[in-house]
């Protein structure tokens, strides 16, 4: 499954800080439909994420009935990204 969407990068301070992009509701519903066959536990969904010219592997996190995409430090550095930057995300999930 390949999905494309845009959103701002946001920061979560938590016990281990992370940067995320929230998956829009329509795309999150599509992911939820395949989640039972692709999750590896705790609702985490393995995926490849492309922003700009950079692709990384990661896992989507369930949050508030939807999903968020972690924006890894390597991706932030490669694409010179920061909080509040609007990015186009290409998300690939093997289903």
Can you give the C-alpha Rg of the chain in angstroms? Answer: 12
- H helices then E strands: how many in the chain? 2, 7
Q: Provide the residue range defining the domain that includes 80.
A: 2-92
The arithmetic mean of pLDDT across residues 35-43, rounded, is 90
| pTM of structure | 0.92
Q: How many domains does the chain have?
A: 1
Residue 17 has pLDDT above 80, yes or no: no
pLDDT of residue 29: 97
pLDDT digits (tens, 9 = 90+) for 62-93: 999 999 999 999 999 999 999 999 999 999 99
At 42 the pLDDT is 86
CATH of the domain at 76: 2.40.30.100
The mean pLDDT value for 26-46 works out to 94
């Amino acid at each position: 499954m390949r999905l494309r969407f845009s959103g701002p990068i946001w920061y979560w301070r938590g016990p281990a800080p992370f940067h995320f992009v929230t998956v829009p509701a329509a795309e999150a519903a599509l992911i939820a439909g395949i989640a039972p066959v692709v999750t590896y536990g705790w609702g985490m969904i393995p995926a490849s994420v492309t922003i700009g010219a950079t692709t990384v592997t990661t896992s989507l996190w369930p949050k508030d009935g939807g999903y968020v995409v972690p924006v890894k430090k390597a991706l932030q550095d490669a694409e010179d990204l920061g909080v509040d930057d609007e990015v186009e995300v290409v998300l690939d999930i093997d289903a």
